[in-house]
Amino acid sequence: MSQLPNSFPIKFAYWVPNVSGGLLISKIEQRTSWDIDYNRKLAQIAEQNGFEYALSQIRFTAGYGAEYQHESVAFTHALLAATSKLRVIAAILPGPWHPAVLAKQIATIDHLTGGRIAVNIVSGWFKTEFTAIGEPWLEHDERYRRSEEFIRAIKGIWTQDDFSFSGDFYRFHNFTLKPKPLQQPHPEIFQGGSSRASRDMASRISDWYFTNGNTLEGIKAQIDDIRAKAVKEGHSVKIGVNAFVIARDTEEEAQAVLNEIIEKADLEAVNAFGHEVKQAGKASPEGEGNWAKSTFEDLVQYNDGFKTNLIGTPEQIAERIVALKAVGVDLILTGFLHFQEEVEYFGQRVLPLVRELESRQADQVAA
Ligand SMILES: Cc1cc2nc3c(=O)[nH]c(=O)nc-3n(C[C@H](O)[C@H](O)[C@H](O)COP(=O)(O)O)c2cc1C
């Protein structure tokens, strides 16, 4: 299934570093902090530099390092309170969260912050974490069956009065949420994952599908698959792709940074992470999905962010972003080594080139 480039400008998000250790499992120096002062300033820099979204993470225990973790919904609220345009996406795990609690929390924050919150429903890959907090661990596809019910439940609560629902995981009887969220019809619902079950859920119900970093071909294959299914379901879903960005004035500098990150990888933590993620894509019936094919080097950025290859000069990166857009990507989810400095560099040096290439393409289509 081929398609014309989307006519709207591609959007940019950044990962909120609300867990310690940045976005890398490496001992390289990172001028990135998980604390609130650093993150408030980062959010302000991001919204002044063309970033539309920020994505927080949910973690209850250390995983890929990430020894300290701030909770995602509370942290999201703090970032929204410190900004005026940025949309912040809070990550939620069905299991620890009940849909009624989440729907109410988000509706309230939506009113407190002028309608800028969104949610990322993540289905879980970290069994040790669930065991640590006494939460039952479901098989791979059961986790997605629960997530889909969770999404149907929050959508129902946000949009209907006297909401009733009878699922295998959740039940509601004539429940009316007041107030409903400010955003109509409801705050945007993102999801993370890339297995068959995850893609099928996206093609039925989510507003946005977030996937790990991948090659252009790998991303295109996923998008074609999801969008073909979504058409049959009468649904439309937008696509966000993770990428760890290393933008430097020369290609050599950017490659040298990548080499140093890999050379200084925390071997023990990367291997432990590689073991845990076997509960994700590899545990799915088809054996595909996130991390199913990741090498040691891929895992050093814990969402396969090097694979997307936004590593090089601003010109090279802008061209690759436009190529991603051409295969149907709507949003790039970025991670950086030194977040504050590099978000600004990206906004000043890369983003204008992307907009220029987009407008040239639009002119070619119109001609
Ligand atoms: C962009 C993105 C963000 C994610 N954020 C989180 C998170 O904050 N917490 C978490 O436990 N899992 C997170 N996940 C993991 C997914 O929800 C899912 O468990 C994982 O990708 C495995 O999916 P799969 O087996 O369907 O491929 C994220 C995944 C992606 C792609």
How does pLDDT run across 58-87, given as a tens digit for each residue?
Answer: 999 998 789 999 999 999 999 999 999 999
Task: Please say if the pLDDT value at position 193 is more than 70.
Answer: yes
What is the model's pLDDT at position 214? 96
Task: Please say if the pLDDT value at position 31 is more than 80.
Answer: yes
CA of 48 to the centre of ligand 1 (A): 28
CA of 162 to the centre of ligand 1 (A): 32
Question: At 245, is the secondary structure helix, strand, or coil?
Answer: coil
What is the model's pLDDT at position 6? 65
Please, which pLDDT band fits residue 97 given cuts at 50, 70 and 90? very high
Task: Please say if the pLDDT value at position 20 is more than 80.
Answer: yes
What is the mean predicted confidence (pLDDT) over 258-285? 90
How does pLDDT run across 115-125, given as a tens digit for each residue?
Answer: 999 999 999 99
Ligand 1 atom with least separation from CA of 292: 27
What is the residue with the minimal CA distance to atom 11 of ligand 1? 124
What is the model's pLDDT at position 365? 79
What is the mean predicted confidence (pLDDT) over 178-186? 98
CA of 194 to the centre of ligand 1 (A): 9
How does pLDDT run across 223-252, given as a tens digit for each residue?
Answer: 999 999 999 999 999 999 999 999 999 999
Task: Please say if the pLDDT value at position 3 is more than 50.
Answer: no
Q: What is the DSSP string of 143-173?
A: HHHHHHHHHHHHHHHHH-SSEEEE-SS-EEE
Cis? peptide before 136, omega within 30° of 0: no
Please, which pLDDT band fits residue 367 given cuts at 50, 70 and 90? confident
Question: Which residues have C-beta atoms less than 6 Å from ligand 1?
Answer: 57-58, 91, 93, 122-126, 192-195, 198, 210-212, 242, 280-281, 284, 289-290, 303, 333
Q: What is the DSSP string of 191-221?
A: EE--SHHHHHHHHHT-SEEEE----HHHHHH
What is the residue with the minimal CA distance to atom 18 of ligand 1? 193
What is the model's pLDDT at position 186? 98
Ligand 1 atom with least separation from CA of 140: 25
What is the model's pLDDT at position 2? 39
The DSSP code for 192 is E
How does pLDDT run across 154-167, given as a tens digit for each residue?
Answer: 999 999 999 999 99
Torsion of CA 14, 50, 336, 74, to 10 degrees: -30
The DSSP code for 26 is B
Q: What percent of the chain has pLDDT over 70?
A: 98
CA of 144 to the centre of ligand 1 (A): 11
Contact between residue 298 and residue 306 where contact means Cβ atoms under 8 Å apart: yes
CA of 212 to the centre of ligand 1 (A): 8
What is the mean predicted confidence (pLDDT) over 324-345? 98
| Average pLDDT in the chain | 95
Rounded Cα distance, 160 and 333, in Å? 32
What is the model's pLDDT at position 284? 87
Q: Which of the pair, 288 or 91, is modelled with greater confidence?
A: 91
CA of 127 to the centre of ligand 1 (A): 13
What is the mean predicted confidence (pLDDT) over 353-361? 95
E strand or H helix at 140:
helix 140-159
What is the mean predicted confidence (pLDDT) over 334-345? 98
